[in-house]
Amino acid sequence: MIFSKSCEYAIRAVIYIAHQSRNGKKVSIREVAQGIDSPLHFIAKILQYLSKRNIIQSTKGPNGGFYLDKRAMKQTLEDVVIAMDGDQVFEGCALGLRYCSESRPCPLHEEFKQIREQIRYSLQSTTIAQFAEEDAHKPILKR
Amino acid sequence: MIFSKSCEYAIRAVIYIAHQSRNGKKVSIREVAQGIDSPLHFIAKILQYLSKRNIIQSTKGPNGGFYLDKRAMKQTLEDVVIAMDGDQVFEGCALGLRYCSESRPCPLHEEFKQIREQIRYSLQSTTIAQFAEEDAHKPILKR
DNA sequence: TAAATAAAGGAGTTTTTTATCTTTTTTATG
DNA sequence: CATAAAAAAGATAAAAAACTCCTTTATTTA
Ligand code: FES
Ligand code: FES
């Protein structure tokens, strides 16, 4: 929940690609799909979209594939999430009211404002590069 | 996000019914739908389901409708959420891995464990009855 | 007991999300 | 320049979620 399936895959894919990217290695759709155990054609669409949104980079042809350039490495997961799911996670009302507002707060407003800020903080506080560095991430993504 | 649409409606409906229920008033599907601004037939199904799960009570026939008995009033929103969306909100991995586990934690595990606990706490800490009491809730549910 | 009221139940439809398949374009290299 | 590798693009398809409509059952009351 919290994130859409596409967004979950996207986060995992970005971390995976970033990890490979540290040594300048580009990865193909096939590798990503295997690496994070996601449907091949589905992740293809997601990567294509992330690439268009400039969250990740890609090159066609032999030796091509997906990678992250220096700038992309400095992004945070918040950027990925916003690209995939928009800002509803951070801005939307927990009870589905049209707007989350201070002036007409729903019964869960105060509590969930904090929760959403904490989600935002969690996603902001670490760069993609940092996730890529961790060695711990390997056994996690591949299952 | 966080909750399904059905769950959002359910929470709003339960609070609405509880509020009316304080003075022993039973409410019809129609009233609930208007009160919380939700699709009539959709909320009908939801109320039917909540009733079967004994989250709310109902009686058929003239002067019938939905209400909350004393026991139901003492429940928390956690009960409503679990009835509607299951425990994925509280238990599921943020990145969609099959299990959220300490032994194979995903890169977001530590942060999101806390977030999910905070969500659980928020939903547990107030009884339905308390939400019903607040006068502030009225302008919130009806839009 | 007939009529009216209100929820329960059953059977759809529509929309959105998730997933698959095929063709086209780009690029490197022999 | 031909071939192969790889992503981009386009077109469906399947599944799930959201939403609707119609019929049945239970209950009250005139
Ligand atoms: S109004 Fe519902 S969370 Fe702010
Ligand atoms: S393993 Fe992902 S949140 Fe625990």
Confidence of residue B139 (pLDDT cuts 50, 70, 90): low
Say yes or no to pLDDT of A29 above 70.
yes
What is the C-alpha separation between B28 and B66, in angstroms, rounded? 6
Q: In Å, how far are B5, B10, B29, B77, B115 from B33, measured between CA atoms?
A: 14, 11, 6, 19, 32
Domains of chain A, with CATH numbers? 5-134 (1.10.10.10)
Q: How many CB atoms lie within 10 A of CB B99?
A: 10
Spacing, Cα B79 to ligand 2 middle (Å): 23
The amino acid sitting at B87 is D
Residues 5-64 of A with CB under 8 A from B: 5, 8-9, 11-12, 15
What is the C-alpha separation between A31 and A49, in angstroms, rounded? 17
Q: How many CB atoms lie within 10 A of CB A105?
A: 18
What is the C-alpha separation between B90 and B116, in angstroms, rounded? 5
Q: What value does the mean pLDDT of chain A take?
A: 94
Report phi then psi at B134, rounded to 5. Answer: -50, 135
Tell me which chain A residues have a C-beta less than 8 angstroms from the C-beta of B77. Answer: 108
Say yes or no to pLDDT of A140 above 60.
no
C-beta of residue A66 within 8 angstroms of C-beta of residue A47: yes
State what percent of residues in chain A have pLDDT above 70: 94
The residue of chain B with its CA nearest to that of A88 is B1
Say yes or no to pLDDT of A26 above 70.
yes
Q: Are strands A65-67 and A57-59 parallel, antiparallel or unpaired?
A: antiparallel
Identify the residue with better confidence: B136 or A32: A32
Paired tokens of A75: 């992004």
Q: Could you say which nucleotides of strand D lie within 7 A of any protein CB atom? A: 4-11, 17-22, 25-29
Identify the residue with better confidence: B124 or B138: B124
Q: Is the dihedral of CA B98, B76, B47, B70 positive or negative?
A: positive
**For A38-60, what is each residue's pLDDT tens digit?**
999 999 999 999 999 999 999 99
**Which among B46, B73, B68 has a CA at the least distance from the CA of B58?**
B68
